[in-house]
Structure 1
Amino acid sequence: MKVYLAGPEVFLPNAREVLDAKIALAQRYGFTPVSPGDLEIPAYETKRGHGLAISAVNEKLMLSAEMIIANLTPFRGIAADVGTVYELGFMCARNCPAYGFSNVARDHFERLKAYYGGAVHPDAQGRPRGPDGLAVEDFEMIENLMLDGGIEARGGAFVTREVAAEAMFTDLGAFEECLSIAARRLLARH
């Protein structure tokens, strides 16, 4: 079964090393992995053209896959990498089995409270709001409800761990747990 390995690892200084480690783990669990960075991107005259080529290659890779495991560890803020979120949505729209992991165990609401410096309070109807008046999700989910919901609706699992800050995008324990769960659930059927 072909699995698309989504995540912000492509931005790491040692991206190839981390991607190769994820690929090796996926193979060990019986999957055929594909991930961003697997295909060569043709040269383009403009930055925009190059960016569009990367997008097209990644969509081609996703179309070749039958499932996704997405690294939803908060990236450059309180939530998952937006490119990874797009990829998860793309695969969910194809109704592919979806799995996610995060190396941050605090749920979305706790991270939003921290973002607002703890200043989240219920409004007159009891809905939590930040000091800017914006409503805050409080559904006891790891990420935005659409991500948790998309994974669950497709029979997947969302695995979390709390790891040291310096290992946030290199610790593969939660990723390997996703592989183990997916192998038990999916490979037996194929």
Structure 2
Amino acid sequence: MPRLLRLYLAGPDVFRPDAAAQGERLRTLCAAAGAEGLFPLHGEGVDIRRACLDMLDAADAVIANITPFRGTHMDPGTAFEIGYAEARGTPVFFWSADPRPLKERHPSGADGRDGEGYLVEDWGKTENLMIVPDGRVVGASAEEAIAEAVAALGFTVRNRDLQRRTRRSVAVALAVSLAAALLAGMIANRLIGW
């Protein structure tokens, strides 16, 4: 049976009062799409950072909930996970329950600056352009981001799995052939009397 696409489910969902139920809902969405959801909810006594990094290392892609959290921007832990995934070359797929551009969510004056004088990005993106680069889509739901990931990567993971199984089969066939040749040589030597 081919291995399922593994999707790390990043986002502030782990802080919800119903985090376990939300994690199960997200994992169910992944399963319905033919993938395995890795939800980073950990119990007491666990090195959470290390456990999350291990899950990220095991993932084929990240589904990142970049919905604003405790302000106008996304959860900083999720931003870290996105950066970690990007550095490893792991694809990231985004979704946000608030798809408005950052400029609409964070008030600014006519000069484009906020109340503290800082420039508010106006790139028409849901989040900072370092998080959502040009050409990247931000879905309106987890379902959309999961479907995008499965459509983009499902074949690649199945193909990698098929390549691994094919290499294993070739190695077994080679070993069996070598053993049969050695056995045939031993039998021939006995028959000839060497």
Scaled by the length of structure 2, the TM-score of the pair is 0.73
User: After the TM superposition, which residues 117-156 of structure 1 pair with which residues of structure 2 at under 5 Å, given as runs?
Assistant: 119-122=108-111, 128-149=112-133, 152=135
Q: How many residues align?
A: 153
Partner residue in 2 for 1:14: 18
1:132 shift after superposition: 2.3
Residue 80 of structure 2 corresponds to residue 63 of structure 1:
no
Distance 1:76 1:131, change over 3 A: closer
1:100 shift after superposition: 0.7
| Cα separation, 1, equivalents of 2:145 and 2:54 | 23
In structure 2, what residue type is equivalent to 1:120? G
| Preserved contact between residue 2 and residue 67 of structure 1 (Cα < 8 Å) | yes
Name the structure where helix makes up a greater proportion of residues.
2
Residue 125 of structure 2 corresponds to residue 158 of structure 1:
no
Partner residue in 1 for 2:96: 102
Residue 16 of structure 2 corresponds to residue 27 of structure 1:
no
| Preserved contact between residue 61 and residue 149 of structure 2 (Cα < 8 Å) | no
Partner residue in 2 for 1:47: none
Partner residue in 2 for 1:2: 6
SS in structure 2 opposite 1:129? coil
| Preserved contact between residue 27 and residue 33 of structure 1 (Cα < 8 Å) | yes
1:157 shift after superposition: 3.1
1:111 shift after superposition: 0.9
Unaligned runs of 5+ in 2: 159-194
SS in structure 2 opposite 1:2? strand
| Preserved contact between residue 9 and residue 37 of structure 2 (Cα < 8 Å) | yes
1:149 shift after superposition: 1.0
Larger radius of gyration: 2
- CA-based RMSD of the aligned residues comes to 1.7
1:40 shift after superposition: 4.7
SS in structure 2 opposite 1:32? strand
In structure 1, what residue type is equivalent to 2:116? D
| Cα separation, 2, equivalents of 1:188 and 1:159 | 21
1:80 shift after superposition: 0.5
1:187 to 147, 154, 179: 154
Partner residue in 2 for 1:164: none
Partner residue in 2 for 1:176: 143
Scaled by the length of structure 1, the TM-score of the pair is 0.75
Unaligned runs of 5+ in 1: 44-49, 114-118, 123-127, 161-173
